Structure 1
Amino acid sequence: MDEFIKQTEQKDKGEGFFELETPRMLEVNLDGLVWAKAGSMVAYHGKIKFDREGILEHGLGTAFKKALTGEGASLMKANGRGKLYLADEGKKIIILNLQNDSIYVNGNDLLAFEPGIKWKIKLMRRIAGMMAGGLFNVHCEGTGMIAITTHYEPLTLRVSPGQPVITDPNATVAWSGNLQPEFQTDISLKTFFGRGSGESIQMRFEGDGFVVVQPYEEVKRVEKG
């Protein structure tokens, strides 16, 4: 037992506001406010209050988009002082430090972000009728930390002028904020896999930036109620 406790106990690493306690557990050294994915809290100590995001807290447009997509990217606010531990289904966690940058993150893969980060929801309307629940992303910009999650090890692909990158929407985690993906249907794949195949729908990235993919096809979940 002593050896197990020694190997697994919490250790302060002095990394700042966000700290990877393990590759799949995020420690938030909270002294104020943090936004986090609803349901991601696994433990905390200190005095912390949790509030689910208000339906109109970020404007009617955001509330409408969330209702329209029906997808599970609800957020909660954790406010107070202490140590907060977040996780999401054992997925690997990556901390990104934005310096006046912007990035799009799949709505299901955004774990937490500092309150100074500006964010808005973007619905991929052209694909909404092709996939169950559509495809819904969060645009984050500004200066501060965000934490995203991936199933297994992520791969970042560079997008260069004249060298587009095509991805499976269900395996696409994030991309640089200056890129605007287009959607295309591969008729040959559609015929090969069948009419309901997700592989027949692809995201095409052109320009100068990057896209992050994971070795897993994440089926978008639809919230009930």
Structure 2
Amino acid sequence: MAVKTLQEFLSTTQEKDVSADAFELESPHMLEVRVDGMVWAKAGSMVARKGGVKFTRQGLLEQGLGTLLKKMVTGEGLQLMKVEGQGRVYLADAGKQVTLLRLAGESIFVNGNDVLAFETGIASKITMMKKVAGMLSGGLFNIQLSGHGIVAMTSHYEPMTLPVNAQTGPVFTDPNATVAWSGSLVPEIVADISLGTLVGRGSGESLQMRFAGEGWVVVQPYEEVSFQSKG
């Protein structure tokens, strides 16, 4: 890699203002949010800020009783925070790649680990794949996002989208490599005992997500094992 002068480094790494949107990628791994009111972001994802911006962790009443019970049962660490005021906030998550999606009334599901931020025009609902709870320590949390606005989701490295339709048949994915899928799909959790010796899970079975119907599913080239499913 070529050595840069100080001025070259400062010039190539300074923040950019090329988009009129509230969400702008400063790099593939860094998101700038121009806050003018409120947005939701993953708790702990702020790396820098400017202006009059305050942060509030998602309140108990906002999460709802069902969400609280799910967290108590599963030990899931997913938390969102309100980002309010006027200013700029810079968000990142362990160097993961950030993808911006503009929803125009559509609905998508995103793995709870992979939601970085979304605008207030997006409605969110935390869901859990209940069948997983008895097989993995903690189950699998997802967030359903729908409405109008921008969603920032993360992935380890470049994500890949697989179409799901009647012609291709069902698509099977590793839960820990599954990033998102279309709101029209309802995945099933299935166990493939024949793969148990290759995966090494404590149950001796390989758990997979089965997608059938019409839609798409996004996977990453990485198995993201959250703390509740380790061991």
**TM-score range with shorter-chain normalisation?**
over 0.9
Letter of the 1:68 partner, please give it.
V
Q: Taking structure 1 as reference, are residues 206 and 41 closer, same or farther at Cα in structure 2, changes over 3 Å only?
A: same
Are the equivalent residues in 2 in contact too, given 1:26–1:86 (CA < 8 A)?
yes
* Maintained 8 Å contact 1:69/1:123: no
| RMSD of Structure 2 on Structure 1 (CA) | 1.7
Is residue 2:175 matched to residue 1:166? no
**Which residue of 2 is the match for residue 70 of structure 1?**
75
Contact 2:193 2:205 in 1 (8 A): no
Q: Using a 3 Å threshold, how does the CA distance of structure 1 residues 66 and 198 change in structure 2: closer, same or farther? A: farther
Equivalences for 1:134-145 in 2 at 5 Å? 134-145=139-150
The one of 159, 170, 191 equivalent to 1:185 is: 191
Q: 1:58 to 1:158 in 2, by over 3 A?
A: same
CA distance in 2, matches of 1:144, 1:36: 14
TM-score normalized with structure 2 length: 0.92
**Cα distance, 1:190 vs structure 2:** 1.2
Query: How far apart are residue 191 of structure 1 and its match?
Result: 3.9
Q: Which runs of 4+ in 1 moved over 6 A?
A: none
1:202 aligns with 2:178: no
User: Hey, what's the Cα distance between the residues in 2 that align with 1:63 and 1:28?
Assistant: 28
- Distance in 2, matches of 1:219 and 1:60, equals 27
Deviations 1:142-196 (A, max 9, x none): 1111100000000000001251100000000000011000111111111444452
CA contact (8 A) 2:74 2:137 kept: no
- Once the 2 structures are TM-superposed, how far is the Cα of residue 72 of structure 1 from its aligned partner? 2.1
* % same residue: 60
1:148 matched residue in structure 2 = 153
Q: How does 1:77-88 map to 2 (within 5 A)?
A: 77-88=82-93
Per-residue Cα deviation, 1:70-95 (whole angstroms, up to 9, x for no partner):
12210100101111100000000000
Give the superposition deviation at 1:221.
Answer: 2.3
- Matches of 1:220 and 1:192, distance apart in 2: 20
Q: Check 1:12–1:198 CA distance in 2 against 1; reply closer, same or farther (3 A cut).
A: farther
Specify whether residues 100 and 193 from structure 1 end up closer, same or farther in structure 2 by C-alpha distance, changes over 3 A only: closer
Tell whether the 8 Å contact from 1:133 to 1:220 is kept in structure 2 after alignment: no
Structure 1 residue 44 displacement after superposition: 0.8
Is residue 219 from structure 1 mapped to residue 219 from structure 2 by the alignment? no
Distance 1:170 1:195, change over 3 A: closer
Report the CA distance shift for 1:207/1:49 in structure 2 as closer, same or farther (over 3 A). same
Quote how far apart the aligned CAs of 1:132 are. 2.4
Paired residues of 2:193 and 2:204 also in contact (CA < 8 A): no
Provide, for residues 197-216 of structure 1, a one-character-per-residue CA deviation record: whole Å limited to 9, x for no partner: 78711000000000000000
Q: 1:123 to 1:138 in 2, by over 3 A?
A: same
Aligned residues: 223
Query: SS of the residue aligned with 2:94?
Result: coil
* Kept after mapping to 2: 8 A contact 1:37/1:74: yes
Q: Distance in 2 between matches of 1:174 and 1:198?
A: 26
Whole-angstrom distance in 1 between the partners of 2:194 and 2:99:
35
Which residue is 1:115 aligned to? 120
TM-score (norm 1): 0.94
Query: Quick one: distance in 1 between partners of 2:204 and 2:187?
Result: 17
